[in-house]
Amino acid sequence: MLVSGKITAVFGVSGWVKVVSYTDQSTSITDYQPWWVRTPDGLQKVQIDSSKNHGEGLVVHIIGTDDRDEARQWCHCDILIEKDLLPKLPSEDFYWHELEGLTVINDSLEHQVLGVVDGLIETGANDVLIVKGNLDSMDLEERLIPYSDEFVKRIDLSKREIFVNWDPDF
């Protein structure tokens, strides 16, 4: 399961809710159903029967939720989708969740471990790996490494490693 969005608030009086989507295009989140909503009582399976853009966000209607009071139960809850619903990518492309947790190794300095991918940042020009040092790395520093061919040389998902060419002092 992947956290792919969050239900933030009720919208109107007919059971609609506001959604923040973490997908590349915000409306794409509705393509991946069913949703699993993480509530205080555990995961609940829901289906969406209607959605529309609203301002810069998205509003959706959850089947079986037909008034504002019922919709409140979903507020402030994460939306999870099943990984199997994501389209297959070409072999040289990766989803962010596949990169998180991989060990980052500096290929240019005798395979020195820089840390582990803790997350990614979208900057517009290119994505950036957030690499956090740990007890197995050369230090405990956090590094921001551009996710580009210039710096990322090889990714081995089976060994959970990313090889980079990066100056550790930068």
The reply to whether 72 and 135 lie within a common domain is no
The reply to whether 78 and 9 lie within a common domain is yes
Query: What Å distances lie between residue 78 and 21, 35, 74, 75, 161, CA to CA?
Result: 10, 10, 9, 9, 29
Residue 15 backbone phi and psi in degrees, to 5: 90, 10
* Contact assessment for residue 104 and residue 120, using Cβ atoms and an 8 Å cutoff: no
pLDDT score at 12: 93
The reply to whether 66 and 39 lie within a common domain is yes
The reply to whether 154 and 100 lie within a common domain is yes
The reply to whether 32 and 57 lie within a common domain is yes
Number of domains within the chain: 2
β-sheet bridge partners, residue 80: 3, 36
pLDDT score at 55: 83
In a domain, 169, yes or no: no
pLDDT score at 109: 67
The reply to whether 104 and 79 lie within a common domain is no
In a domain, 105, yes or no: yes
Full DSSP string of 103-149: EEEETTTTTEEEEEEEEEEE-SSSEEEEEE--TTSS-S-EEEEE-ST
The reply to whether 66 and 32 lie within a common domain is yes
The whole-model pTM stands at 0.75
The reply to whether 12 and 52 lie within a common domain is yes
The per-residue pLDDT string of the chain (170 residues; one tens digit each, 9 = 90 and over) reads 999 999 999 999 999 999 999 888 888 899 999 999 999 999 999 999 999 998 888 999 999 999 999 999 999 999 999 998 888 888 888 988 899 999 999 987 678 999 999 999 988 888 999 999 999 999 999 999 999 999 999 999 999 999 999 988 88
Containing structural domain, residue 59? 2-85
In this structure, what CATH number is given to the domain that contains residue 155?
2.30.30.240
Count other C-beta atoms under 10 Å from residue 44's C-beta: 15
* Of 59, 85, 111, the domain-final residue: 85
- What is the dihedral sign for C-alpha 132, 126, 108, 158? positive
The reply to whether 6 and 81 lie within a common domain is yes
Q: Distance between CA atoms of 13 and 69, rounded to whole angstroms?
A: 8
The reply to whether 108 and 69 lie within a common domain is no
The reply to whether 126 and 105 lie within a common domain is yes
Beta strand spans in the chain (E): 2-11, 16-21, 35-39, 42-46, 48-54, 57-62, 77-81, 103-106, 112-122, 127-132, 142-146, 152-156, 161-164
pLDDT score at 45: 97
* Of 51, 85, 119, the domain-final residue: 85
* Of 27, 53, 85, the domain-final residue: 85
β-sheet bridge partners, residue 132: 116, 142
In this structure, what CATH number is given to the domain that contains residue 60?
2.40.30.60
In a domain, 91, yes or no: no
